Amino acid sequence: MKMNEVSTTPKSKSKTDWDKLRKMTNKEIAEAANSDPDAPLYSKEKLKSMGFKRVNPIQEVDVKFIRGKLEMSQEEFAQIFGFNKRTLEGWEQNRRKPMGAAKLFLKLIEINPEAVAQALEKLQNIEERSCNLVKEIDALPKKLLWKTPSFKSQRKDSARPPKKNLKNPNTNEDIYKSLKD
């Protein structure tokens, strides 16, 4: 919506004085922006001196060429680099075009496929290890429950009815409740 258009939605009760903002000149806006110490405005020269440079977006990516250069089948390429095979087919047959991050990722594969594959392998190893840790942590309360004196005495004393299915606790909440008792 442009600044001079009128909105049909009800105005929110914000602290911004929109009428005052609309009346500000470009000079006043620039002064207000420069007065914010947390978000300084830098000139192009200052940004250049800080090491920033303009990055031109990638225009086109020839997926079939990249895969052919690596001498891989569609299935191999998709599996190694984590693409859906159908998506890859669509890109190669020009029914669809890779967008955004996918386009950049394909360009990285074209430039250095070994480094990308190695990085993905490391990521997969990290994911597997973290999944195993989560499983171990999830099983920990159950292991602790079996070792608690109150649970051992309940197992020995079968005349007393067990509390809330302690032999096969369904949730961590059940386990924690039983540990408190």
Tens-place pLDDT, residues 53-102:
877 777 889 999 999 999 999 999 999 999 999 999 999 999 999 998 99
**How many angstroms separate the CA atoms of 101 and 25, rounded?**
38
158 pLDDT higher than 90:
no
Q: Which residues of 51-60 are buried (b: 16+ CB within 10 A; e: fewer)?
A: eeeeeeeeee
**What is the average pLDDT value for the chain, to the nearest integer?**
80
Q: Which residues are CB-contacts of 164 (< 8 A; sequence separation ≥ 6)? A: 174, 177, 178
**Please, what is the angle between helix 74-81 and helix 113-147, to 10°?**
50
pTM of the model: 0.47
Q: How far apart are CA 141 and CA 176, in angstroms?
A: 8
Q: How many residues does the chain have?
A: 181
pLDDT at 156 over 80: no
In 3D space, the residue among 33, 55, 58 whose CA is nearest the CA of residue 43 turns out to be 33
**Cα distances (Å, whole numbers) of residue 62 to 14, 91, 104, 114, 162:** 48, 8, 12, 19, 66
The per-residue pLDDT for 83 is: 94
Residue 51: DSSP 8-state: T
Q: Among the residues of 9-148, which ranges form H helices?
A: 18-23, 26-34, 44-49, 63-69, 74-81, 85-92, 100-111, 113-147
Domain 63-111, what fold? Answer: 434 Repressor (Amino-terminal Domain) (1.10.260)
pLDDT (tens digit per residue) in 21-47:
899 999 998 888 888 888 888 888 888
The region that residue 164 occupies, defined by phi over 0 for left and psi between -120 and 50 for alpha, beta otherwise, is left
The end-to-end CA distance of the chain, in Å, is 61
